[in-house]
A and B are shown apart, each in its own frame.
Chain A
Amino acid sequence: MNIQSFLILAVIVVVFVFTFRYVVRKNKRNPGCGSCHGCDMGQHCRESRHH
């Protein structure tokens, strides 16, 4: 495996780990659609900047 391949793989693994952490944390905080946009989750949605 050449250095470019190794770097790309490393980037994918790092992004994968961070994305996984992000999704898990977000779903813990807001077990709904995972997004604060446009829906009526209101007080349940702590992701929203209004809370």
Chain B
Amino acid sequence: MTLRDLKRGCYGRVVRVGGEGALRQHLIDMGVLPESIVKVVKYAPMGDPVEILIHGYELTLRLADAGRIEVEPVSREEAVRLIKIGKGAKMKDNWEFDQIPHPGLGEPHIQSEEIRKENPLPKNTMLTFALVGNQNCGKTTLFNQLTGANQHVGNFPGVTVDRKSGQILNHPGTDVVDLPGIYSLSPYSSEEIVSRNFILNEHPHGIINILDATNIERNLYLTMQLIELGVPMVLALNMMDELEGNGGSVRINEMEALLGIPVVAISAAKNQGVEELVDHALHVAHFQEAPKRQDFCSPDDHGGAVHRCLHAIMHLIEDHAQRARLPLRFAASKLIEGDDLVLDALKLEQNEYEIVQHIIRQMEEERGLDASAALADMRFTFINRLCKQTVVKPHLSREHVRSLAIDKVLTGQYTAIPAFLLIMGLIFWLTFESVGIWLQDGLAACIDMFTAWTDNLLTSWNINAAVHSLVIDGVFAGCGSVLSFVPLILLLFFFLSMLEDSGYMARIAFVTDHILRRIGLSGRSIVPMLIGFGCSVPSVMASRTLPSERDRRLTIMLTPFMSCSAKVAIYAFIAEPFFGHYAWVAMVGLYILGILTGVAVALVAKNFFLKGEAAPFVMELPNYRMPGYKNVLHLLRDKTMDFVERAFTVIFLATIVIWFLQHFSFRLQMVDPTSNDSILANIAGLIAPLFQPLGFGDWRIVTALVSGFMAKESVVATLETLSAGEPITSLMSTGGAICFLVFCLLYTPCVAAIASIRRELGNRYAIFVILLQCGVAWIVSFLFSLLVPIL
């Protein structure tokens, strides 16, 4: 039977992992191996995907992929017994030790002069470190502690999608690079390639490998591959406070001796142990202390098949690995796993290639497993033995118990979708109706008071009418109207960051995968799309976590349909005068319309120009955590600064230019701003007929739309400037307002979002997105212009 046939709450022993290619390798790297014990925790509300418990952590995968994993059902008691025995139990080992002296690896005051003189780098060498670890193990938190930076951290896998670097605090001449989270050195998604390429091609002087001590077994899998690279490294056991708080512990000395690298217990969130970690990292990098042990395959392990295979290939390719500047053991193991990138780099001759294949086939026959599974099994066997000797496992952690309880509701079969809708509804209601509107009204009143005070001051100074108008109708009306929307935008960002930090975002992906697959996307695409409600720029960047190019293209194409927070200003500006108390209904309606249009476009794309299946959904579900107030505050502060800066730069420039074009004719004579003689009226008048069928052909509205390409908030500033005190209701009818809002929702994203799309997918795709969005916006607005009179 297969894993998909296993009932909820049942246990099974993996017999074979079927499938092929990168997904199979990824599953194996995540620990889904023959003889592993799995438990089916639950199915998503729509029956797919399934959440399983393996090696003490929760993993989600689709039923189709689960159907490729053959299992043998076992009773709960048998499962517990097998987990206790673990892998490698029958192996002879000589690891019995009672009191091992502290090995003192990477410690200047303990090590002998002999070691210190090993390979010291010249003084003043810029020491570069790669910060590597699994997804969601606290890398960015540690990076922030090390460098004093304020990078955003979240509680779902894949917050860091590009590398970031910074100097270690109080240690000039150092550079730490925070790499995206990876599970192994097999290239599965583009973020894993970023990390692997950095380590292999840019040769950092040291690696800081951070791992989640509460999930040590799976995290050590990457550690073993990093050790194979032969680069000086330090192991940071993060979240030790959580581990110890739940009755667990780690025998650091023994682990250090067995792995041959310095091991430091830390808590990145509480800044505990970080100083010690820095001392060790600087020491191993400066003295280039390579790991003391790289050979983890044992001659006792299943007759030593893997051991002999690895060493034979290592001897065979030694010269090629040297020429390709690849670490020997790493190259050999990747060759066995069938990594094409490494195979190309090694440039083996046909004869050598064939010998390698024969050796691998012989190993597979002796071991009874295919090459990838055999290698992963060898690593997990070592890890199992290591953990048995050095790790006291915690009881079920408080955080996990709490997560299980919360998940009963938030991912429950009947409660997940209502809970999701309720949470999103609450967020929109708080933002656009109650709290957000109170705060906005308060700020708008303050801005109005300041504007009136300035107006009086200018009048009392007898300022020239044109300059007076420039200041009040241009700068104050434009920048002031945009600034008053700061509270709405901040509230939306606040709630989105709460979703992200708490760990709920990963659950949304789990719950919505089945629905998203119908439009050709994976559940993981929901994360960039939800971020798109905040801002399209990070949302486009976040699509890097998706493992398939097709999914990335489709997700990037859809994110601009998720109404970004800058558009909130337009909605509020138009909806309040036209719809009064029902303004919030109109706003929520726009959000829903954006999603529905995205779905329609996705269906067209899926069936015509982006055909294919959605990428596999293999994702870890993190425990729920209380969002860190510092993290949330930093994010809000940064967003406020960002928004205010834009109001006083881009929007300031735009309002002055528009004021000038509106108040002067082509002969540079001052004209009535509402007349048709101004430069702006003449230019905008040329394209205004295009919008006549949509019900908003006024040149002022068209100008506002054009200025929105720079920044969406600019639409409001422009309308405010151009209306010259005239109420907005006089510029268009209610029907026209609806069509205008629909057009604003769907038309081209701002220049910043287009720039990031261009960076991710190239010029042609960026132009395609602009044309697609404008075309779709026009068509949907036109449909509304036909529908509104009927309704």
Contacts and interface: CB of A to CB of B under 8 A. Distances in A.
A16 B541 contact: no
A23 B710 CA distance: 12
Given A12-B475, A19-B652, A50-B166, A39 B759 contact: no
B653 A16 contact: yes
B538 A38 contact: yes
Interface stretch (B227-235, B617-625, B640-648): B640-648
A38 B538 CA distance: 8
B537 A33 contact: yes
A4 B462 CA distance: 8
Interface stretch (B213-221, B463-471, B507-515, B567-575): B463-471
B461 interface: yes
A20 B710 CA distance: 13
A12 B646 contact: no
Contacts of A32: 537, 752, 755-756, 759
B160 interface: yes
A23 B642 contact: no
Interface in B466-507: 467, 470-471, 475
Nearest to B643: A35
Contact of A5 (B151, B161, B164, B467): B467
A35 B164 contact: no
Contacts of A19: 648-649, 652-653
B147 A50 contact: yes
Which of A8, A12, A37, A49 has the most C-beta atoms of chain B within 10 angstroms of its own C-beta? A37
Interface string B592-616: 0000000000000000000000000
A30 to B, nearest CB: 9
A39 to B, nearest CB: 4
Given A38-B635, A40-B541, A4 B652 contact: no
B553 interface: no
A9 interface: yes
Contact of A33 (B467, B475, B535, B653): B535
B650 A34 contact: yes
Nearest to B175: A50
Contacts of B759: 31-32, 44
Interface in B156-215: 159-167
Given A16-B653, A42-B163, A50-B165, A37 B463 contact: no
Given A4-B462, A40-B162, A50 B149 contact: yes
Interface residues of B: mostly helix, strand, loop or mixed?
Answer: helix
B163 A43 contact: yes
A41 interface: yes
B467 A38 contact: no
A35 B648 CA distance: 13
Nearest to B537: A33
A16 to B, nearest CB: 6
B464 A1 contact: yes
Contacts of A44: 162, 759
Given A19-B653, A43-B162, A4 B461 contact: yes
Which of A5, A34, A40 has the most C-beta atoms of chain B within 10 angstroms of its own C-beta? A40
Contact of B641 (A4, A37, A51): A37
A30 B132 CA distance: 26
A5 B464 contact: yes
A17 to B, nearest CB: 10
B765 to A, nearest CB: 16
Contacts of B461: 2, 4-5
B639 A38 contact: yes
Given A23-B650, A50-B165, A39 B541 contact: yes
Contacts of B649: 19, 22-23, 34
B181 to A, nearest CB: 13
B752 A40 contact: no
B653 A20 contact: yes
Contacts of B151: 50
Given A19-B653, A33-B752, A34-B752, A40 B163 contact: no
Interface string B428-448: 000000000000000000000
A16 B656 contact: yes
Contacts of A41: 162, 537, 541
Contacts of B463: 2, 4-5, 8
13 contacts: A2-B462, A4-B461, A5-B463, A5-B464, A12-B475, A19-B649, A33-B535, A33-B537, A37-B642, A41-B541, A42-B161, A50-B164, A50-B167
Given A32-B752, A33-B537, 19 more contacts: A2-B462, A2-B463, A4-B463, A5-B464, A8-B463, A12-B471, A19-B652, A23-B653, A31-B755, A32-B537, A34-B646, A37-B639, A42-B162, A42-B163, A44-B162, A49-B149, A50-B164, A50-B165, A51-B165
